[in-house]
Copies of this chain bind each other. A is one copy, B any other.
Amino acid sequence: MTTSPPARIGDPVEAIDTPALVVDLDAFEHNIEKMAAFTRKAGVRLRPHAKTHKSPAVALKQIAKGAVGQCCQKVGEAEALVRAGVKDVLVSNEVIGLSKLRRLASLAKDATVALCFDAPEGVAQASQAAVEFGVELGGLVEIEIGMKRCGVAPEAAPELARLIEKPPGLKFRGLQAYHGSAQHVQGYEAREALMRDTTAIVRRTAESLAAAGLPCDFVTGAGTGTYSFECASGVWNEIQAGSYAFMDTDYARIGGRNSDRYADFEHSLFVLAGVMSTPASDLAVVDAGLKAFSMEKGAPWVHGIDGAEVVGVSDEHGKVKFAPGARRLNLGERVMLIPGHCDPTINLHDWYVGIRNGRVEALWPIAARGASR
């Protein structure tokens, strides 16, 4: 259920109620401009992933900087985007069941809509929904390139592509080739090597489709951890990164070129928490826990205080421990936490509070929060 915004436009940062999801607008804008410039220079399209930000407000800013549209993972996300004016949406995922496919076909009245397939059953259902609504849905073959999740084996792509091309209401558009687990492989060189092998597979698959008379308009994929390799590959022509707009501790930890820290983009996303108890001289308890940030990638980092560490988290509490000599937090003070994993953290909140120069400059509704259907 939608909660009230934690601040008003124009408020000083000190007046933001806690916990709140805060975006440093300077860092955010730097990130979306940097990725837009990088992909432009590489000659590939940028289609940022809305599963990260869940917000048409963010989508429209990315598009204003040159993104061709948006990716999403669920029909509910596509609905939030198209209803807010996004004109080109790819569901980078399989969609099963007529009721979901009808909702997707309905969106194709107002936007270019595509989705992924990895089985014939989905193709027949999608064709039926498209025909019912008199629309065309783009169809991509998802190939399995290392994530061991959805997708057909690369060598099975031509057969499925032919199936997509056949029935009314569908048009084969290309390949969904995303290596999700590669994003989080430790070390720049390890990711580069992994993507080198993966690139060869994707290139062969695209070539075999072209040879079968089914050329790919899209070879789409990539994430924040590997985008530079896909951009340089000459195989992918579209990049689906999402986390780059915000970053998190998980991405920071994967390591960059000649560096332990992956720092292609700046941390722009924080959970602002307030100190509700100071039970010991080296401990502060803040009012943000499992319902303000997700924990499956570890506890958040404390921003701006060397020697402060989140050592325990429960539903609505975070325990911050201070090393000897570290600056302590007093009762009622606020602290910015960097989430372990941006996507599921954002999905806990209803509002982004955009800040700049110590003031609240923007409130963006997270309109697709909870839109998992």
**Contact indicator per residue, chain A 1-42, by CB within 8 Å of chain B (1) or not (0):** 111001000000000011110000000000000000000000
Distance of A144 from chain B, by nearest CB (Å): 6
Of B96, B274, B294, the contact of A290 (CB 8 Å cutoff): B294
Which residues on B sit within 8 Å (CB–CB) of A331?
96, 119, 121-122
**Shortest distance between the CB of A102 and any CB in chain B (Å):** 12
Report B-chain residues with C-beta under 8 Å of the C-beta of A274. 96-97
CB within 8 Å for A180 and B119 given contacts A150-B279, A279-B151: no
Give the interface SS of chain A, mostly helix, strand, loop or mixed: loop
Of the listed stretches A203-211, A245-253, A362-370, name the one at the interface; the rest are far from the partner chain: A362-370
Decide if A276 is an interface residue (CB 8 Å cutoff): yes
Q: Is the CB of B348 within 8 A of A279?
A: no
Q: In this assembly, does A288 line the interface, its C-beta being within 8 Å of a C-beta of chain B?
A: yes
Contact (A118, B370) CB under 8 Å given A296-B290, A348-B347: no
Asked if B296 and A315 sit within 8 Å, CB to CB, the answer is no
Pick the contact of A370: B150, B287, B349 (CB < 8 A). B349
Whole-angstrom CA separation of A2 from B366 in the bound complex: 10
Interface size class of A (residues with CB under 8 A): 35 or more
Which of B1, B18, B148 is A373 in contact with, Cβ under 8 Å? B18
**Bound Cα distance from A283 to B19, whole angstroms:** 39
Does A94 interact with chain B (Cβ within 8 Å)?
yes
What is the distance, in angstroms, from A275's C-beta to the closest C-beta of chain B? 7
CB contact list, A241-290 vs B, under 8 A:
274-279, 283, 285, 287-288, 290
Measured between beta carbons, the chain B residues less than 8 angstroms from A149 are 277, 279, 285, 312, 314, 317, 319
Residues of B contacting A155 with CB < 8 Å?
none
Contact B347 A291 (CB under 8 A): yes
A-B contact pairs, 29 of them (CB 8 A): A1-B350, A1-B365, A1-B367, A1-B368, A1-B369, A17-B99, A19-B373, A73-B316, A93-B276, A93-B316, A96-B276, A96-B332, A121-B332, A144-B279, A148-B279, A148-B283, A150-B276, A150-B279, A151-B277, A287-B372, A290-B296, A290-B347, A291-B370, A295-B295, A316-B372, A347-B348, A348-B370, A349-B370, A369-B370
Tell me, yes or no, whether A292 is within 8 Å of chain B by CB: yes
| CA A1 to CA B370, docked complex, whole Å | 7
Question: Chain A, 332-373, contact with B by CB distance < 8 Å: what is the 0/1 string?
Answer: 100000000101100111100000000000000111111111
